[in-house]
Structure formats: structure tokens, C-alpha cells
A and B are shown apart, each in its own frame.
Chain A
């Protein structure tokens, strides 16, 4: 009885020691952030800055709390567009990368076009896509997909080509077929490259969706940003920006967790 109690006490002690260390590591950036917010709050209050020019953090927090249903109503469309764009853009990039690696001709035919499309600023191409696809969700998904596409294509081609020459010799000695080389060697070796691309895409797809909503939309975080700017509702604008960055973080963390689970080497 007493021994089991001491074990529990010991283990909980060890656990708390671990937690303390983690809290300590976490507390430095958190403390810095809180200090900066305090400086901001004091600066706004001391210099009497009008709320429509720069709201204090407390004003933003207040709006965040009061307008939470409005923020969420606009969060979900942007979330859907970002995620749909993320999947469509990356899937297309991966498939085209596979085609490039398997056929020199396809690569030579399409790579310059891919580079050209990538050089068009997303802000310039977004209105064109809105004209083509109309004011619905489709245009935003396409813009989000487009912004994900190029980094993933380039990384994926590199990843699929990253197989060591000896691994290919091994495959030849085992008389592996092209599809066996692809599934058993090329694709797994490209995964670390793919995940670095997906991490980039997880944040840029949100940018794509928001840019699309700027051009023409009634709902979504992009639309809310435009609306609150024109109505001088600065606290709501700040709260929307905060939610937008939260969406990016959410997607980034999801990709990072997936990477940790899949890539163990």
C-alpha cells in the first residue's frame, strides 16, 4: 500500500518535473507576446489613438467575443475553400510531377508553361478566375489550388528523382518492374519532399482563398476583411485577421502532425 503510494508520488513528481520544463520552454515566447500586447494596449490608451485607426487588444478581444458567431459564419466558407484548394492543387501537382518523372517529353512540353503560370502574380490572375468561374466558391478553390500547385510540383519532381543510383541498381538486380520501382522506392523516398511542400501549401492556400474572396464574395474571411475595412470597423478587421492566421496555423499543424505520423525515418 505504502510502496504503491510512493511510486505514484514519485511518478507524479517526475511528470510534474517534465511539465515544469515544458511550461518553462513555453513561457518565454508566451511572456514576450503578452508583454508586446501590453505595450500595444498602453500605447493606444496613452496616445489616445482613435479606435478606427488602431484598436487596443482589449477592443479586439471584446469584438471577438461579441461577434464570434459572425466570425465563425465567415470562417467556415474560407476553411472549405482553403482545404478543397489544398487537396486539388497538391493532388494535381503530385500527378503532374509523376508524369514529368516518367516522361521527358511531357516535362519538356509542360514545365515552361507551369513556370509561366507561376510568374503571374496571384492578385493579377484572381480577377480572371472570378470572371471565368463566377462569384461562387469555385473561383476561390481554383485560386487556392493554383497557389499551392507550383511549390509542390517542383518539390515533388525533386523528391521522385531523389532515389539513390544504388537503390535503382538494387531494383534492377531484383528485376523490379517500373510500377514496383515507383510504389516501393520512388514514392516513399519522395515523401519528405512532399511534406515540405505541403507545409508551404498549408499556409498559402488560405492566402489564395482570401484573395479570391476580396475580388467578389458575400461570405468568407476575405469578404469580412473588405467589409470591416470599408466600414471602419477596425476591431472586427483585427479579429478577422486573427482568425485567418488561426486557420493557417490549424492547417500547418495538421500537416506537421501527419508528417510526424507518416515519416519516421
Chain B
């Protein structure tokens, strides 16, 4: 008991917990979407979340981002309640559909988070990067004035990522952000996302339904199982960073694929 406590305090000195979920459940009416989820995510980690459809992957992100309340248990973001973290803009969300405002051009969409709350004097964390630089970071320099309908699906999603980064979030929640894109665009954005992750040092929780994407991006894969949603397993992906597209031909990559596929079948 004592030894465990000691090792815990030692660990806590060296690591910062980005998100800590303890025995949290989410209910929609009589339906239990998530049951007894316990999870600690270290700051700076890249987690991918996999699971059969309807297992509550998106609900987990919505729980962390204060969009749905826990029915029981608790969620802490950097030691704060989810509401306090939301007000402090500790996290940002990237949706499956880019959710850009169609009447605003790319730059204005990226600036949206900076406009909201300004009149109420909410203190916003301002990043080192200006909206212009963020658009450059996601490879959209020169397209600042383009309206969303003038951009391709991949470009719109990159604008959404730039918008998410504008308040320099310590935790980035991504709900199948590349799910609707073609494979080439997806590969390209996967690489770009890894670069962004490395450069910003943010923590990422990334929901996907693609096994290769989960392995390619994640340091850890969180596997959920359905009815009700629970944690099945957390799989460490010991593949070297930075990752290259060629990694997908690697036997070790394929081993992870088959391992995860088997796990998914058992769900």
C-alpha cells in the first residue's frame, strides 16, 4: 500500500495528467452509452480510439469536452472540472464534418474562437501562432480569403484543425476528422497531423473507425466494446516516431493490424 503510494507520487512528479476519467458512466434516458470508464491520459500523448459502431467512441469525446454530463463518476481535465477547462479553452474539438461557417472565409473561420467571449472579457489563451500562421501550418497559405464552398473536403478539414489550434489547446479532441475523405487526402493529413502534434506538443484523442489509421497515428490505441460502452483494452503501439507512409508496408505494422482486428471481432 505504502509502496504503491510512493510510486504514485514519484510518477506524479514526472508526469502531468491531461485527462483523468474515473468510473464515469453516461446515460441517454434508459440507455447506458458508457459504463465505468476509467482512464488516465498523459499530457502529450496521442491516443486513438477504436471500437465497433455504437460503442460510444464519440460519446467518450463528448464526455471529456463537457458536451454530455457523466451520470456517475468524474472527469478531470488538467486537474480541473470539464466546465472549468472548457471556459479556459484547455481543449478544442474537431468534428467529422468540418463545421465551418459557410459565410466566413478560411481566415475568419480560424479567428472565430478568438471573437467569441471577447466582449465578455473572457481571458482567452492566445497561441504563439497567429491565424495566418496556423493556416500556413496546415498548408493553406494563400487561401485565406476562400469561402468554405470554394475549398475541397480535405482543405475544409485543415481549416477546422487550424481553428481548433488557435487558442493553443493542451488537449485536442478529434471525432473521425478524416472519415469522409478519400484515402490519398487522408494519408496526407495523417502525416500533417503527426507534424502538428510534434510541433505543438498537444495531447490528442483521436476517434477513428479505421484500424490502419489508429495504428499509424496513435502511440496508444484505446479499444472500446459495445453495449454498454466499456474499455476493452489499451494497446501500446511501439512503432518509431516520426512515422512515414512506408511504415504501412512494415511487417510489425501488419502484426498490429491483425492483433487489433482480432480484438475488434471479440468486442
Interface of A with B (CB < 8 Å)?
A: 164, 166-167, 169-177, 180, 184-185, 188, 191, 263-265
Contacts and interface: CB of A to CB of B under 8 A. Distances in A.
Closest 8 CB pairs of A and B: A265-B102, A166-B99, A174-B116, A176-B116, A265-B103, A173-B93, A166-B95, A188-B103
Among A166, A173, A180, A265, chain B packs the most CB atoms within 10 A around the CB of A173
Contacts of B66: 172-173
Nearest to A163: B101
Majority secondary structure, A binding face = helix
A174 B120 contact: no
Nearest to B102: A265
Contacts of B117: 174-177, 180
Contact of A170 (B99, B147, B148, B149): B99
Given A167-B101, A265-B148, 10 more contacts: A166-B95, A166-B97, A169-B67, A169-B95, A170-B93, A170-B99, A173-B65, A174-B113, A174-B116, A175-B122
A21 B207 CA distance: 53
B152 to A, nearest CB: 16
B97 A177 contact: no
Contact of B116 (A166, A175, A263): A175
B132 interface: no
A151 to B, nearest CB: 23
B86 interface: yes
A184 B112 contact: yes
Interface of B: 62, 65-67, 86-87, 89, 91-93, 95, 97, 99, 101-103, 112-113, 115-117, 119-120, 122, 147-149
B117 to A, nearest CB: 6
A170 B86 contact: no
Contacts of B149: 265
A256 B138 CA distance: 37
Contacts of B97: 164, 166
A177 B99 CA distance: 18
B92 A173 contact: yes
B87 A175 contact: yes
Contacts of A180: 116-117, 119
Contacts of A169: 62, 67, 93, 95, 99
17 contacts: A166-B99, A167-B99, A167-B101, A169-B99, A171-B116, A173-B65, A173-B67, A173-B86, A173-B92, A174-B112, A175-B87, A175-B89, A180-B117, A180-B119, A184-B116, A188-B101, A265-B148
Contacts of A176: 116-117
Contacts of B116: 171, 174-176, 180, 184
Contacts of A177: 117, 120
A164 to B, nearest CB: 7
Contacts of B95: 166, 169-170
A265 B147 contact: yes
A3 B95 CA distance: 55
A170 B100 CA distance: 10
A176 to B, nearest CB: 5
Given A170-B93, A173-B93, A264 B147 contact: yes
A162 to B, nearest CB: 11
B101 A185 contact: yes
Nearest to B83: A175
Contacts of A263: 103
Contact of B115 (A170, A175, A184): A184
A176 B86 CA distance: 11
Contacts of B86: 172-173, 175
